[in-house]
């Protein structure tokens, strides 16, 4: 595609130049006398006789010269000039013989050249700059198709295969059937089976949905047409629908092929919301999409894939049988998946002999494929920065923290008193975690500030991946969140803003326990909140009466208070260790989980 693109675009400037050259050449052949400004000088009497013989067609009279054009017997026109000897009879001479004359030659420029300069050149320049501008806006990899002028990304070869997508085995299995269908549509047609026309990839951002769609096209070795829903948003009325029509026309011509609509939620939102004021343009686009999907023959070999991270907002009509009726979840990778993704991306960088990807995978629970790819790249950048020629374990470990918490702010000037507060705060978390059963072991504690604004943090890493949390574990976790603040209170007798993030997380977990996980005594197994977008932060909406809402609030407060008191109790009982560990951390700035456990168990 890239190559095609260049092949198509360069010649356009080339054609303009060629046309210009041809026109100039033509001009020189047809009207040679217009080239240059040479004038044959003749004496005044010759001029007079030429006028009388009617060979002079036009004349320019200046102060003491006459420049004129004359045609000879063979019809050739030439420029002449003569010095005026007597002025008195000149005008009557010209008048009598019907010569047009004036201050300027009426047609000094050839008609062709003047048309060229006044029309074609400006037009050419306008088109040229217009193209440059639109290319700037549209990005390099775009091609315009059809009347709508809309951008459809077309690739003959995506160059991606399932090997590029690590983990996500369930999604790959589901897509393999589509690949097979594209390879051999006849096999399916013969038996009378029609494959679903469309499949919808749903999952959080960065889990490889776009990558998977490309891999399907790459595996099936078919062209890949893609548009992104967000591009429809700024289009003129009617353009969205035209773009959809174009896309399907193109795809129909190139079948078998893949049509991929990324971020389909931007056009596929539920329709008919009078509250929204009715977005006619989006509705038109969506209707056109539905029409096109119904209109084409599923056995032709066009498979439509779409991706979204807010499936709950899609119009039900899109999910009906015969449209995107197959739903393929692309979830965040599990530990094995994370390790596999790290390894896929590590193939692109030089590695030192002994790199333990498993420990990196363990430390990155909840990270998406895109984040893991970023971690590997950050590690490579760090290796370069450190002047090494290969990526080591240390680079990867540091870049995990960079991606989670931002870069180190080595030269941030923090007062000794504040560093003390941060050290006690972090040891508070770690100590509360360590003294409770079934909480994840402490992996690392640091008080080096990060660009994210964190002044320090405690990293806990589970031995194995966890999918469930018991009520006790959830409560212990809340206690761990409150541990930082609890240490500040105990040691300094005052509190700081440093616990803001802990407070937020503790509250979210406590609320969840009561409203969604059925872990409270008063509400039993009642769902009081529902998650509205599971893949984007998991916002919730309350589904209960105001009285219940007030009771929930009271329960949340009580739960957190209980956990907070538990944390204070743990730290009070271990105050010597708190002092010892905080002093050690202050000195070292960063300590490992082993160091922490060694001092704790001394």
206 contact, one of ligand ADP, Mg ion, Zn ion, none, CB 5-8 Å limit per kind? ligand ADP
Angstrom distance (rounded) from CA 460 to CA 269? 40
Binding mask 146-165 for ligand ADP (x = CB under 6 A): -------------------x
Choose, from 231, 398, 426, 488, the residue flagged as catalytic: 426
Looking only at residues 334 through 353 of this chain, which bind ligand ADP when binding is defined by CB under 6 A? 341, 344
Contact status: 502 vs Zn ion (CB under 5 A): yes
Site string for ligand ADP, 370-389 (x = CB under 6 A): x--x----------------
Taking the complex as a whole, the smallest distance from the CB of residue 328 to ligand ADP amounts, in Å, to 12
* DSSP per-residue letters across 250-262: HHHHH-SEEEEEE
Q: Would you call 418 a catalytic residue per the annotation?
A: no
Decide: 476 and 438 in contact? Cβ < 8 Å: yes
Write the interaction track for Mg ion spanning residues 193-212; mark x where CB under 5 A is met and - where it is not: -----------------x--
Among 185, 196, 198, 208, binds ligand ADP (CB under 6 A): 208
Q: What, of ligand ADP, Mg ion, Zn ion, none, does residue 502 touch, CB below 5 to 8 Å by kind?
A: Zn ion
Distance between CA atoms of residues 204 and 537, nearest Å: 9
**Full DSSP string of 470-539:** -HHHHHHHHHHHHHHHHHHHHHHSS--GGGHHHHHHHHHHHHHHHHTS---TTTTT---EEES-TTTTT-
Q: Which stretch binds Zn ion (CB under 5 A): 54-62, 304-312, 502-510, 547-555?
A: 502-510
According to the binding rule CB under 5 A, does residue 484 interact with Zn ion? yes
Please state the closest distance from residue 243 (CB atom) to ligand ADP, in A.
21
Residues with Cβ within 8 Å of residue 280, at least 6 apart in sequence: 237
Give me the residues paired with residue 258 across strands. 224, 303
Q: In angstroms, rounded to a whole number, what is the distance separating the alpha carbons of residues 78 and 73? A: 12
Give min distance, CB of 458 to Zn ion, in A: 7
Specify the DSSP element, H or E, that contains 362: helix 357-362
Q: Which residues of 81-120 are buried (b: 16+ CB within 10 A; e: fewer)?
A: bbeeeeeeebeebbeeeebebeeebeeeebeebeebeeee
Token digits of residue 199:
């499949």
Is 260 or 481 the residue whose CB approaches Mg ion more closely? 260
Minimum separation from the CB atom of position 536 to ligand ADP (A): 11
Closest approach of ligand ADP to the CB of residue 571, in Å: 41
Binding to Zn ion by CB under 5 A, coded x per residue (else -) over 194-233, reads ----------------------------------------
Question: Which residues of this protein are in contact with ligand ADP, per CB under 6 A?
Answer: 165-168, 205-211, 307, 341, 344, 369-370, 373
**Active site residues per annotation:** 426
């Amino acid at each position: 595609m890239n190559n095609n693109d260049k092949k198509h675009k360069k010649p356009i400037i080339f054609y303009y130049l060629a046309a210009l050259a041809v026109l100039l050449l033509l001009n020189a052949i047809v009207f040679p006398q217009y080239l240059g400004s040479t004038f044959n000088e003749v004496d005044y009497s010759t001029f007079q006789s030429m006028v009388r013989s009617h060979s002079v067609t036009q004349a320019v009279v200046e102060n003491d010269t006459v420049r004129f054009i004359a045609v000879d017997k063979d019809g050739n026109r030439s420029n002449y000039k003569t010095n005026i000897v007597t002025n008195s009879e000149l005008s009557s001479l010209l008048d009598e013989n019907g010569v047009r004359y004036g201050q300027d030659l009426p047609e000094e420029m050839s008609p062709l050249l003047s048309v060229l300069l006044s029309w074609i050149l400006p037009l050419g320049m306008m088109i040229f700059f217009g193209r440059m501008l639109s290319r700037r806006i549209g990005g390099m990899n775009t091609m315009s198709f059809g009347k709508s002028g809309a951008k459809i990304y077309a690739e003959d070869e995506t160059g991606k295969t399932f090997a590029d997508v690590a983990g996500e085995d369930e999604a790959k299995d589901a897509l393999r059937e589509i690949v097979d269908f594209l390879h051999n549509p006849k096999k399916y047609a013969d038996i009378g089976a029609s494959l679903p026309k469309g499949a919808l990839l749903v999952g959080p951002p960065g889990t490889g949905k776009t990558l998977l769609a490309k891999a399907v096209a790459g595996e099936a070795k078919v062209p890949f047409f893609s548009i992104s829903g967000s591009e429809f948003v700024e289009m003129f009325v009617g353009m969205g629908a035209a773009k959809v029509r174009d896309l399907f026309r193109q795809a129909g011509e190139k079948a078998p092929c893949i049509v991929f609509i990324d971020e389909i939620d931007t056009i596929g939102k539920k329709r008919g919301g009078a509250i929204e004021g009715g977005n006619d343009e989006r509705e038109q686009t969506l209707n056109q999409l539905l029409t096109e999907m119904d209109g084409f023959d599923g056995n032709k070999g066009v498979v439509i894939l779409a991706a979204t991270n807010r499936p709950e907002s899609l119009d039900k009509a899109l999910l009906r049988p015969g449209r995107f009726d197959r739903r393929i979840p692309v979830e965040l990778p599990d530990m094995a998946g994370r390790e596999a993704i790290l390894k896929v991306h590590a193939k692109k960088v030089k590695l030192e002999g002994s790199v333990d990807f498993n420990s990196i995978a363990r430390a990155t629970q909840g990270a998406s494929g895109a984040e893991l790819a970023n971690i590997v790249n950050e590690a490579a950048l760090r290796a370069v920065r450190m002047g090494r020629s290969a990526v080591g374990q240390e680079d990867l470990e540091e870049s995990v923290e960079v991606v989670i918490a931002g870069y180190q702010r080595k030269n941030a000037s923090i007062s000794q008193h504040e560093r003390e507060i941060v050290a006690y705060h972090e040891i508070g978390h770690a100590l509360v975690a360590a003294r409770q059963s079934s909480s994840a072991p402490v992996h690392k504690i640091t008080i080096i500030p990060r660009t994210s604004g964190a002044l320090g943090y405690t990293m806990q890493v589970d031995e194995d991946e966890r999918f469930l949390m018991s009520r006790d574990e959830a409560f212990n976790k809340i206690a761990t969140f409150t541990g930082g603040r609890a240490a500040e209170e105990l040691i300094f007798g005052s509190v700081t803003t440093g616990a803001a993030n802990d407070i937020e997380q503790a509250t979210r977990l406590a609320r969840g326990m009561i409203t969604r996980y059925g872990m409270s005594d008063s509400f039993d197994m009642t769902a009081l909140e529902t998650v509205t977008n599971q893949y984007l932060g998991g916002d919730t909406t309350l589904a209960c009466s105001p009285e219940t809402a007030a009771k929930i609030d009271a329960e949340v407060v009580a739960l957190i208070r209980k956990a907070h008191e538990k944390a204070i109790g743990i730290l009070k009982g271990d105050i010597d260790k708190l002092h010892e560990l905080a002093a050690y951390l202050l000195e070292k700035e960063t300590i490992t989980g082993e160091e922490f456990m060694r001092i704790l168990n001394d």
